[in-house]
Amino acid sequence: MSTQKTYFGSLEKYQKGAVEVLADDPKNYAFSNIFEVASTSKPYEKVAVGKNLKYVIEALRAEGTSPWFACAHDEAALCMDGEIEVHYVKPDQAPVAANKEGTVKLSAEPKGTKMGWVKIRRGHQALLPAGAAYQFRAAGKPGVLLVQTILGDATVEKWAEICQTKA
Amino acid sequence: MSTVANQQGLTDKGLGYKAHSIGGFRFERDEYFAHIFYPGGRHIMPVDAFLRALMRDVAWGFFYGTVNFDNVFGTVNHYGTVEMFIGLFNEAYRSTNRHHVETFESKDLKKVFEQMLQDWVNEGFDPFAAPDETGAPFGAKKGNNTKAIQRQRMVADRMVGLPGDLGYRTDQNGYPLNRQFQDIPTDQPEVHAEPGFEKDVHAYNFFNYVARSDVTWNPSVVSCVKDSQFCATTEEHILPITHGNDRVEWFIQATDEIIWDIDDRATGKPRAKVVMKAGDVAAMPADIRHRGYSPKRSILIVWENNDGTLPQKYASGQLKPYPVEF
Ligand SMILES: [Fe+2]
């Protein structure tokens, strides 16, 4: 039986690897660490840490209560640190056009039907279903979410700040 | 007395294995090696490495782009047809025109590969398992391991655990926590769905799900946003193939550590090493090939873009091989 411990990162304690270049530019790998990114982000800033044409993955610092967000397509949120609630509302009137891609930040909680809520901890993945509005709430210490979505109005791109640029 | 030249075949040692052929390729195995004969030459690989690579190629349906079994032999997926090659992505073979390529219908090549696995994988050897978890593949033919070689790649439509979607792995259905993930928390998220919203208000323990995978280096789709696929996998020991993708893919190291060797996709010349620790995210450009080393079983998310128009766009140069400019 193995005695090796599983190593998880967290906001408080993470190690970062690196691109060790032989004949290459480290920028080709857009190498970053989600805990490092979240440690310098504003609460719920949706910082892109991966981009594959229109698709992105975003690292979010989950701290306190987020704005209400909505999206016309499914998204997914993986909790990498902390304990975070997600509250869902089915808006009476769609706040986002059906063909619009990416997350939209709402100015307030939309009028609608309460769909329920989930509480996720490290390693848990929650669905952010198409057409719903949702809000993150992290009452305790700050956490980290990794969101799988499409590049949208709320996505923040600051690659030069977060990625390894030098060999 | 006469001697007959038998350059293009093995001396029959009565080991019980069959030869398998398709087009100009013929595969033979002995106690230690897989021998690949092709018009103009032969190639040899350790049989354990060959079977582990063959298993992935079959289970993934030839995967995305190039599956290099080693720096000489492999397959290129054209999604309906497959090229099988010798030396196609090897500078020495190419510069001396010693490479050899044949195209097959995917279903025909898959059939031959499946027959070869059925014949060459002995009882007690699981090509999907980490070496420390399984027996050795060497020696004369001894039984088979049909159950191990018929596993399919698991694919969620929307997200693991949703009603009607890919189910959970549990002790009861034969997926205990792996020996190297005994310390993974198995707690469940709280889910409070109002009536009628059970298909939408959903969460599950992703780490627990992945840590129960009984295979290594076999990405399975856990969540989708249109063509964006999170493919989660547990990694231990060495990726049995060197993957030369036909598009950009990304890695998110969820636990522990993997070290990647990055070589040029076309020539095999080394370009970089990428050391990834828990929380690290890195792109794999479209013009490289990569092979990973995972000293302890680790959770990796391979993030793929399943858009079928991409290979042509990267191959033609319409898209740059790296994902972001900054
Ligand atoms: Fe890959």
pLDDT digits (tens), chain B, 326 positions: 456 666 667 778 899 999 999 999 999 999 999 999 999 899 999 999 999 999 999 999 999 999 999 999 999 999 999 999 999 999 999 999 999 999 999 999 999 999 999 999 999 999 999 999 999 999 999 999 999 999 978 899 999 999 999 999 999 999 999 999 999 999 999 999 999 999 999 999 999 999 999 999 999 999 999 999 999 999 999 999 999 999 999 999 999 999 999 999 999 999 999 999 999 999 999 999 999 999 999 999 999 999 999 999 999 999 999 999 99
Please state the length of chain B.
326
Nearest to B155 by CA among B59, B223, B226, B211: B223
Q: Which domain holds residue A120?
A: 26-162
**With b meaning 16 or more CB within 10 Å and e meaning fewer, what string describes B180-207?**
bbeebeeeebebebeeebeebbbbbbbb
Nearest to A52 by CA among B73, B250, B204: B250
What are the φ/ψ torsions at residue B312 (nearest 5 degrees)? -65, -40
| CATH classification code of B171-315 | 2.60.120.10
- Tokens representing B45 are 């690989």
CATH 2.60.120.10 domain locations along chain B = 171-315
Residues of A in contact with B189 (CB under 8 A): 118-121, 124, 126
Q: How far is CA B76 from the centre of its chain?
A: 13
CB contact under 8 A, A32 and B280: yes
- Name the residue facing B282 among A31, A74, A146 (closest C-beta): A31
* Helix B106-120 vs helix B47-59: crossing angle, to nearest 10: 140
**With b meaning 16 or more CB within 10 Å and e meaning fewer, what string describes A107-122?**
eeebebeebbbbbbbb
The pLDDT value given to residue B4: 61
CATH number at residue A86: 2.60.120.10
The pLDDT value given to residue B12: 80
A11 within some domain = no
Cα-to-centroid distance, B295 and ligand 1 (Å): 18
Residues of B in contact with A29 (CB under 8 A): 272, 274, 282-285, 322
Q: Is the pLDDT of residue A25 over 60?
A: yes
For the four alpha carbons of B223, B306, B322 and B249, in that order, the dihedral sign comes to positive
Q: Across B150-214, where does the E strand assignment appear?
A: 190-193, 203-205
ipTM: 0.98
A47 within some domain = yes
- Quick check: B233 and B239 in contact, CB under 8 A? no
What's the number of domains chain A is made of? Answer: 1
Please state the length of chain A.
167
Q: Is B61 exposed, middle or buried (0-12, 13-18, 19+ CB in 10 A)?
A: middle
The pLDDT value given to residue B10: 78
CA distance B99 to chain A (A): 26
Q: What is the mean pLDDT of residues A144-156?
A: 98
The pLDDT value given to residue B152: 78
Instruction: Report residue A2's pLDDT band, with 50, 70 and 90 as the boundaries.
Output: low
Considering the entire predicted model, what is its pTM?
0.96
Instruction: Report residue A3's pLDDT band, with 50, 70 and 90 as the boundaries.
Output: confident
The pLDDT value given to residue B153: 82
Q: What is the mean pLDDT of residues A111-139?
A: 98
- Tokens representing B83 are 């090229």
CB atoms closer than 10 angstroms to residue A164: 19
Residues of B in contact with A28 (CB under 8 A): 283, 285, 321-322
A127 within some domain = yes
Mean pLDDT computed over every residue of chain A: 97
User: What whole-number distance in Å separates Cα of residue B273 and Cα of residue B245?
Assistant: 17
Chain B: residue whose CA lies nearest to A164:
B282
A3 part of contact set with chain B, CB < 8 Å: no
CB contact under 8 A, B255 and A26: no
CB contact under 8 A, B281 and A159: no
CB contact under 8 A, A50 and B227: no
